[in-house]
Amino acid sequence: MTFDKQIKRRDLLKASAMLGIAGAAGSTAPSLLMAEPAKPKEIIIRAWGGPWVEALKAGVSDPFTAKTGIRVRHDLTEDNEIQPKVWAAVAQKRTPPIHINWDTTTNATKSALRGVCEDLSDLPNLKGTTDLAKPVGVDGYPIVNTYGYVYVLAYRPSAFPSGPPESYHDLLDPKFKGRLAFYNDGIGFHFPAQVAGGGKLDGIPSNMQPCWDFVSKIKAQEPLLGEDPDFVTWFQNGEIDAACTISTNALGAKRNGVDIAWTIPKEGAKFDTDGLWIPRGHSEGDLYWSKEYINQALSKESQQIWLDGLGLPGVIPGLQPPTGLAGDPSYPTKPADFDRLIRISGKIQVENESEWFSKFKAIMQG
């Protein structure tokens, strides 16, 4: 199965030479230009909290600071919250509030189609990436995809003594009332819910009623709704027994000593990607060093450390899977690994995701 993602192009600084930069593990990575512009005191990266930002800091931000002396500040504003702020800044020709957005590819594509992203096609380390990094559906590289991930069904084994839950229907047992968790906009759950509700994937987006019917059944279970850091906390505190969440959150709880496992139920699981992009409107110097940061994120050394922390497959060949994840369904690397994963056209997601989020929230709040 081919890796697909979507994006759009904008002209940028041209690479005129290659410089060696000391890598995170003592190796070298090519730089963008022979003559370096002045360095900013800091660059601001929008990120997710919990194990997400911890992994980014260890794998990319700290090595970048060690090489350049530029401080990295992580802004933990949620991606959907910062999006209109960035769009407004670009439209008003103001300096954007962040230098780099670590974003879902679908959200980033909305920004790319709006024309607010700088082009990243001259990053030297792009030459060593797999097809997973390559944007599809629009021109150029306004976004660089940095890894893939699966929305698994994470569960507490003690709550499922007969074995892993085989279906999302297993969560409708009354004993799980108040003991389930989902993202507050339902992301990752819409597609398996469509199947669980008796619908077909080719009914997305034209006939999503089966999805909403099943979401209504889940709503009766009074689930907790939150964001990535919440899932780790809830599992650690023993507040939930099962959750539809990115595998990184389950792995984070497991690494913190929680007895937790994850599975792909018979309805399947959504596979997606995240990426990095730079809003238009920064000075030439800030743009240069922001691109250097993303180039660092595409080095093998940084990907190995960063994605060890996240437990996710990256875009550089030859990365070693984290301990215990080789062959795990949450760590797909071969075409056969995608047989049980759901991949919906990025174009469809861009055009419909806001409506899906609103519908999910309306059901949960009704």
Instruction: Give me the CATH number covering residue 182.
Output: 3.40.190.10
- Residue 32's pLDDT is 59
Compute the distance between CA of residue 336 and CA of residue 1 in angstroms, rounded to an integer: 8
pLDDT given for residue 27 in this prediction = 40
**Quick check: is 211 in a domain?**
yes
34 found inside a domain = yes
Same domain, 211 and 358: yes
- Asked, for residue 327, whether it belongs to a domain, the answer is no
Instruction: Count other Cβ atoms within 10 Å, centred on residue 358.
Output: 12
Could you report the average pLDDT of every consecutive run of 10 residues in the chain (366 residues)?
A: 34 30 40 76 97 97 98 96 97 98 94 96 96 83 96 98 98 98 97 98 97 98 96 96 96 94 98 97 98 98 97 96 93 92 91 96 96
User: What is the C-alpha to C-alpha distance for residues 47 and 79, in angstroms, rounded to an integer?
Assistant: 8
Query: Do 91 and 156 have their domain in common?
Result: no
Task: State whether 283 and 267 are in the same domain.
Answer: no
Cα-trace Rg, the chain: 20
Q: Does residue 220 share a domain with residue 348?
A: yes
Regarding pTM above 0.75, the answer is yes
Which domain, by its residues, includes 237?
A: 150-271+340-365
- Give the chain's count of helices (H) and strands (E): 11, 12
Same domain for 169 and 76: no
Do 100 and 293 touch, CB atoms closer than 8 A?
yes
Asked if the bond preceding 165 is cis, omega within 30° of 0, the reply is no
pLDDT at residue number 77: 96
Q: Is residue 332 part of a domain?
A: no
- On whether both 96 and 203 belong to a single domain, the answer is no
Instruction: Return the DSSP state at 90.
Output: H
Predicted pLDDT of residue 76: 97
Task: Give residue 345's pLDDT.
Answer: 86
pLDDT at 12: 28
- Do 34 and 108 reside in the same domain of the chain? yes
Structural domain total, the chain = 2
Please indicate, yes or no, whether residues 142 and 31 belong to a single structural domain of this protein: yes
Q: Does a structural domain hold residue 30?
A: yes
Same domain, 179 and 231: yes
Q: Is 285 among the domain residues?
A: yes
pLDDT at 31: 59
Do 142 and 247 belong together in one domain?
no
Q: What pLDDT shows up at residue 346? A: 85
User: What DSSP designation does 212 have?
Assistant: H
Tell me the residue ranges of DSSP E strands in 12-171.
20-22, 28-30, 42-46, 71-75, 100-104, 144-155
157 found inside a domain: yes
Tell me, yes or no, whether 265 and 157 share the same domain: yes
Contact predicate 233/256, CB 8 Å: no
Q: Do residues 59 and 74 both lie within one domain?
A: yes
Q: Does 8 reside within a domain?
A: no
Q: Please report the pLDDT score of residue 139 as a whole number.
A: 80
